Amino acid sequence: DGGITQSPKYLFRKEGQNVTLSCEQNLNHDAMYWYRQDPGQGLRLIYYSQIVNDFQKGDIAEGYSVSREKKESFPLTVTSAQKNPTAFYLCASSATSGGPWEQFFGPGTRLTVL
């Protein structure tokens, strides 16, 4: 089945540690995205990538890093510089050419900093 997988579903981190969230898609989409959700707020864009080996900062990129070495994969690293990392993280992908394509979302990772 085509879709987006994220792992792990739940993640616990100690303060000061970096942690990497996985996102894989087999939809053959060029574009991938990372969002963060906090209570009472909409989905906020962290980073996005429109093509392999290229990515751009979203609205709240500070304290995060990404890589896009393969079309299928877009891992997100939450670094110790992120002041408030406890949140729900969603990965998405979409086509890019020909129109405003809908985004397909993964199941999310809930990160808790202890």
Partner 1 sequence: ILNVEQSPQSLHVQEGDSTNFTCSFPSSNFYALHWYRWETAKSPEALFVMTLNGDEKKKGRISATLNTKEGYSYLYIKGSQPEDSATYLCAPKAPRDILTGGGNKLTFGTGTQLKVEL
Near partner 1 in 14-73, by CB under 8 A: 31, 33, 35, 40-45, 48, 50, 56, 58-59
Looking at the Cβ atoms of 11 and 43, the one nearer to partner 1 is: 43
- Residue 107 lies near partner 1 (rule: CB under 8 A): yes
| CB-count exposure of residue 64 (10 Å: 0-12, 13-18, 19+) | buried
Query: In sequence order, which residues have a C-beta less than 8 Å from that of residue 84 and are 6 or more positions away?
Result: none
Token duo for residue 48: 């996005």
Radius of gyration of the chain (CA): 13
Smallest gap from residue 107 Cβ to partner 1 (A)? 5
CA distances from 87 to 1, 93, 97 (A): 28, 20, 31
Q: Which helix (H) or strand (E) holds 31?
A: strand 31-37
Smallest gap from residue 87 Cβ to partner 1 (A)? 14
Smallest gap from residue 96 Cβ to partner 1 (A)? 5
Smallest gap from residue 63 Cβ to partner 1 (A)? 18
Where do contacts with partner 1 occur on this chain (CB under 8 A)?
Answer: 4, 31, 33, 35, 40-45, 48, 50, 56, 58-59, 90, 92, 94, 96, 99-108
